[in-house]
Amino acid sequence: MINQLIENIKRTKAPIVVGLDPMLSYVPEQVQKAAFQEFGETLEGAAEAIWQFNKAIVDATYDLIPAVKPQIAMYEQFGVPGLAAYEKTVSYCQQKGLVVVGDIKRGDIGSTSEAYAIGHLGHVQVGSKSYAGFHEDFATINPYMGSDAVNPFIKVCKEEKKGLFVLVKTSNPSSGDFQDRLVDGRPLYELVGEKVAQWGDSFMGDSYSYVGAVVGATYPEQGKALRKIMPHAMILVPGYGAQGGQGKDLVHFFNEDGLGAIVNSSRGIIAAYRQEAYARFGAEHFADASRAAVEAMTADIQGALEAAK
């Protein structure tokens, strides 16, 4: 899957991933209305609304992008019907040739991490049959519990040729509370980055590892240091756009081959129609606004990468 991801990035010339993180408030009224007419103002109705919203955005952008990153929390808030919409979204994106990064940030003790790994990236045995519950291609994971929380994910990924992005330095303002604390004079996130490099060395694709990292766009200097610590890790970079990151902040996340990072934007793409820059599309043509926002983001990052050459 890491090779597939890189192939998709090369083909689209867009090192970006669209965060399919639908708040119900992002979904235009006509889409909500249609869903509620069919299912009522219920969890099923909300799930149908976000699924139709996602589908329209994917249909309008899939040829321009290599990957999507649905944030499972946004579905989980609608309970079981929400998670059914999540699974449907994963399937649909895969049918469209997109690589799907499940932003699940799971992590637990060994046997429990294994269950998460099986549910999201692997197959579970039921009697004589086996099933892939959520079947994402990559998943984000939380390393706070240490190696034995991560190893079961790596094991399942090796069986399934799937990949991981391990949280190293997250994009949020208080990520420093623990991640920046100095251990032997060095911030904790660097130690986590070293572990990611170790985990990744044993599980390489053609040029990048199946074990990647999450490093926030909002911390470009840290990105520079971590790029060196984890030379073979694909870095998933959240925090572009709405969270404050810009193209010029991102160049240090990339390697000299122009690869090695994939930048996420969620709200900036999926709710583009609500921004002044794309207001001309109106709520009716929200998916076209998303397409224009993808084009602008790709140009911004490509431009920054060109300028840095």
Contact residue for a second copy among 4, 94, 133, 161 (CB under 8 A): 133
Q: Which of residues 198-217 bind a second copy (CB under 8 A)?
A: none
Q: Does 91 bind a second copy (CB under 8 A)?
A: no
Nearest residue to 266 via CA among 28, 66, 30, 68: 68
Contact residue for a second copy among 112, 255, 275, 302 (CB under 8 A): 112
Minimum CB distance to a second copy, residue 156 (Å) = 11
Which among 55, 105, 155, 161 is annotated as catalytic?
Answer: 105
Minimum CB distance to a second copy, residue 98 (Å) = 20
Please give the backbone phi and psi of residue 22, each rounded to the nearest 5 degrees, phi first: -75, 115
Is 169 catalytic? The answer is no
Nearest residue to 196 via CA among 176, 218, 224, 226: 226
Q: Does 244 bind a second copy (CB under 8 A)?
A: no
Q: Does 29 bind a second copy (CB under 8 A)?
A: no
Angstrom distance (rounded) from CA 104 to CA 190: 22
CB atoms within 10 A of CB 83: 16
Residue 242 or 305: which CB sits closer to a second copy?
Answer: 242
Per-residue binder mask for a second copy (CB under 8 A), 30-69, x = binder: --x---x----xxx-xx-----------------------
Angstrom distance (rounded) from CA 128 to CA 107: 28
Residue 9 or 85: which CB sits closer to a second copy?
Answer: 85
Q: Does 113 bind a second copy (CB under 8 A)?
A: yes
Q: Which two tokens stand for residue 54?
A: 């996602």
- Would the CA dihedral through 200, 190, 68, 257 be positive or negative? negative
Termini Cα distance of the chain: 28
Residues acting as catalytic residues: 105
